[in-house]
Amino acid sequence: MAVQRRYLSLAAAGLTTAMTLSLTSCGSGAGDGGDVTLKLIAADYGDNAANSSKHYWNRLVKDFEKKNPGIKVDVSVYSWTDVDKKVEELVKSGKAPDMAQIGAYADYAAEGKLYKARDVLSIPVQADFVPALAEAGEYGREQYGMPFGSSTRRLFYNKKLFAEAGITDPPETWAQVSADAAKLKAKGVKMPYALPLGPEETQAETLMWMLSGGGSYTDSIGKYTIDSKENVKTFEWLKKDLVTPGLTGGDPAKLNRQDAFNAFAAGDVGMLNGHPTLMKQAEAKGVEYGTVELPGPAGKAKATMGVADWMTAFKQNGHRDQVGKFLDFVYNEKNVMDFSGHYGLLPVTTSGSQAMLADSKYAKLHSFLRQLDNAVFYPADKTSWPLVSKTVKAKMGKAVGANGNPAGVLSDIQNTANEADNTAE
């Protein structure tokens, strides 16, 4: 089945905190000779105060202000759980920021509130985006979402636990995943395979398994295919071969992604799907790990999941030129590499990607980066996606539980998706 290359937010990802960046001044705006006030709300990728991306923005802004008199920058921080809601509140109250770095853009684009990428970025900067990510930021064949951070997913495994269970090679097929998980369970591993289908990021784990089984949320023309035969087979396998035999170490519906990551870093998980930030977390705890491509029914999966967060530029304040000047600066190679390298993310530009691949310092990210061009992302260009994602979070965990009915749950979500799509049209 063809899969649609559509793309969304690091969100899943899973990186958790966010911030407001305000470019402020004493003047009233463009055209009056005074300073221009710009406001940017952006996500913080740090996991503590010392690692907050507020520090990244402070350095970048200081450099920008030196080169651009008349544009000043103030930074304030929001958590990831609050950032999208904060932007929504500002927009509804008529106080839209000039820019927002958030998880989705389609609703604002559909309402005509956003500048197109080509309206604010210089041609070289827009052309430098990784093509797959630029395409993912399109609504109505125009790019409105400018990728800011990205990642792909791989299967992580604990080398020590594998060795103790007599497992010599990481799995490439689902049958091997199940067999290896059984060996890990026999050795007393708490979570042989961590399956986080709790409410935090269910939509991500769901897509990874859909892709592993040859399915996806949508087809090549953007039609929802949630209850496809491929997806039904995938979740029936999960229920029968992983959850029912007790190989997940508990109820997947109650396990959140960050809790699964924490358990892996504590040495309590044999295998799980993860993104690059898990590497730092595991290394900090001394866990020796390996990563491989996602396993599939008969071999390695043909595609993996990708995630992107989006920079958007709002029209309300009329600061198109100043916004463009700032964003051109944000996306220069140095700043892209500083951000990506520090937070273990993948560069969203071709120049940044090439620089990362050429630098052995980032060797552990290379396998994730090489997957980016063919990664499949959330259907973020669909205004119906936020509701569909919310529905997946509420229902998919129970689908593979003791009394779960994968086919029935997938059908229910498909019906919700169809109704939301029809309403959006």
Confidence of residue 7 (pLDDT cuts 50, 70, 90): very low
Mean of all residue pLDDT scores within the chain = 89
Phi-psi region of 286 (alpha: psi -120 to 50; beta: other; left: phi over 0): left
Confidence of residue 79 (pLDDT cuts 50, 70, 90): low
Q: Please give the pLDDT value at position 42.
A: 78
Q: Do domains 18-152+306-374 and 154-304+386-424 have the same CATH topology?
A: yes
Distance CA(167)–CA(193), nearest Å, equals 14
The C-alpha atoms of residue 305 and residue 283 are separated, in whole angstroms, by 23
Q: Which amino acid is at 200?
A: E
Note whether 400 and 239 are within 8 A (CB). yes
CB 143 within 8 A of CB 161: no
Which pLDDT belongs to residue 111? 95
Of the candidates 171, 196, 168, 192, the one whose C-alpha atom is nearest the C-alpha of residue 182 is 192
For residues 95-116, average pLDDT: 93
Q: Is the dihedral of CA 221, 225, 231, 232 positive or negative?
A: negative
Tell me how far apart the 2 most distant CA atoms of the chain are, in Å: 73
Torsion angle of C-alpha atoms 423, 13, 370, 173, degrees rounded to 10 = -90
Candidate CATH numbers 3.40.47.10, 3.30.1370.100, 3.40.190.10, 2.30.110.10; the one for domain 154-304+386-424? 3.40.190.10
pLDDT of 324-372, one tens digit each? Answer: 999 999 999 999 999 998 888 999 999 999 999 999 999 999 999 999 9
Domain boundaries, the chain: 18-152+306-374, 154-304+386-424
**Per-residue pLDDT at 161:** 98
Domain 18-152+306-374 has CATH 1.10.238.10: no
Tens digits of per-residue pLDDT, 252-298? 999 999 999 999 999 999 999 999 989 989 999 999 999 999 999 99
Instruction: Supply φ then ψ for residue 27, to 5 degrees.
Output: -85, 180
Each residue of 349-359: pLDDT tens digit? Answer: 999 999 999 99
pLDDT of residue 175: 98
- Quick check: 411 pLDDT over 90? yes
Residue 187's φ and ψ, nearest 5 degrees, are -90, 5
Is residue 268 within 8 Å of 189, Cβ to Cβ? yes
Pick from 366, 360, 317: nearest CA to 346: 366
